Amino acid sequence: MKRILPLVAICALMQAVPVFAMDLTVSAKTSGFAFDATGIPNPSPLRYGGELTVEDQLSGGLSGQIALELDPECGNMLKARGIYRTRFLEISAGPSFGILNASGSNSVTSVIQPGLGIGFNLIAPGVAIAKADTDFALPTTSSADGRIFLQKSSLSAGIYLPNAICSFGISQKTSTESGVKTTGLTDMGIYTEAFKKGSSIRISLDFIYRVMDYYIAAGSASNTKTAHLILGGGLNWEPKDDLSFFVKGDGSLYSFSLGSPLTGLDKFLFDVKVGVHYRINTSQN
């Protein structure tokens, strides 16, 4: 519940601010892809999070975006990006902050951890698209053990097929507790989205190979590395030009250890995400 409160506060603040034109996306997520105290992936208890993204057109191809991510697998991040778009190119950059991150009662709660986010897309309309994006924490003068540092990166390339987009992508997100441990999720997958001209529904189907790392120190017996074969899918429904609803989910089909034999890998691990996107176009005098 505490992870959802920042989303509620920002939504309430937005109601008090005059809005002229923006895109608003709100989503909630639950995940079983997390580690227990022994470094074994364990879906119990479920972790919850959410995301709020606001984007406003500033002028021409320039827009501004602010996003709050409460990631149940990695941590909390607040990002701001300036985005420049043309028909063939999209470039974005801006600050990113890890906020209120702590892994346990003995760790230091990082109120604000400064960082930077950059990304770009190369687009050949109707032919292909390539994307690269990263958010990473910047080093601070304090090296006290227990501080949390987040990093997220993704790289993908896709082609347009008749009534579909098919892409191959690699993504990674890590959470490092200084002097204690590092946890990470790395995905390599094939992602497809099918659509039909004139239809309000889009359907996605994903095949993912996920590696989960739990690292204490070199040679530590507590280090674990597991792999998971995952099937995912999603549905996007757009009843109006300015409104759409979406649901995405994935689950592990088979899990195994990439290191020493581990027990407890027979649990079903899954992610579920639901949300809404709304485009607001109003003017106030």
List, for residues 29-87, the tens digit of each pLDDT value: 999 998 887 888 888 888 999 999 999 988 888 999 999 999 988 899 999 999 999 99
**For the residues 181-206, what does the mean pLDDT come to?**
95
The residue length of the chain stands at: 285
Burial label, 84 (beta-carbon count in 10 A; 0-12, 13-18, 19+): middle
**For the residues 249-269, what does the mean pLDDT come to?**
92
The pLDDT score that the predictor gives to residue 245 is 98
The pLDDT score that the predictor gives to residue 217 is 87
In which band, very low, low, confident or very high, does the pLDDT at 96 lie, cut at 50, 70 and 90?
very high
| Number of C-beta neighbours around residue 263 at 10 A | 8
3-state secondary structure 166-231: EEEEEEEEEEEECCCEEEEEEEEEEEEEECCCCCCEEEEEEEEEEEEEEECCCCCCCCEEEEEEEE
Cis bond leading into 45, ω under 30°? yes
In which band, very low, low, confident or very high, does the pLDDT at 283 lie, cut at 50, 70 and 90?
low
Contact criterion met (CB below 8 Å) for 228 and 216: no
Using the predicted structure, report yes or no on whether residue 110 has a pLDDT greater than 80.
no
The pLDDT score that the predictor gives to residue 7 is 52
How many separate helices (H) and strands (E) can be counted in the chain? Answer: 1, 14
Q: Which of 219, 209, 207, 208 is nearest to 259 (CA)?
A: 219
Phi, psi at 108, each rounded to 5°: -85, 130
Pair of tokens at residue 211: 């590696």
Using the predicted structure, report yes or no on whether residue 197 has a pLDDT greater than 90.
no
How far apart CA 280 and CA 226 sit, in angstroms, is 44
Return the top range by mean pLDDT from 72-76, 99-103, 175-179: 72-76
How high is the mean pLDDT of the chain? 88
Using the predicted structure, report yes or no on whether residue 282 has a pLDDT greater than 70.
no
List, for residues 43-54, the tens digit of each pLDDT value: 888 899 999 999
**For the residues 123-150, what does the mean pLDDT come to?**
84
**For the residues 113-139, what does the mean pLDDT come to?**
94
The pLDDT score that the predictor gives to residue 17 is 44
The pLDDT score that the predictor gives to residue 285 is 45
**For the residues 6-10, what does the mean pLDDT come to?**
50
SS3 category, 66: strand
**For the residues 182-190, what does the mean pLDDT come to?**
96
The pLDDT score that the predictor gives to residue 11 is 52
The pLDDT score that the predictor gives to residue 218 is 86
**For the residues 211-237, what does the mean pLDDT come to?**
94
Using the predicted structure, report yes or no on whether residue 247 has a pLDDT greater than 80.
yes
Contact criterion met (CB below 8 Å) for 54 and 66: yes
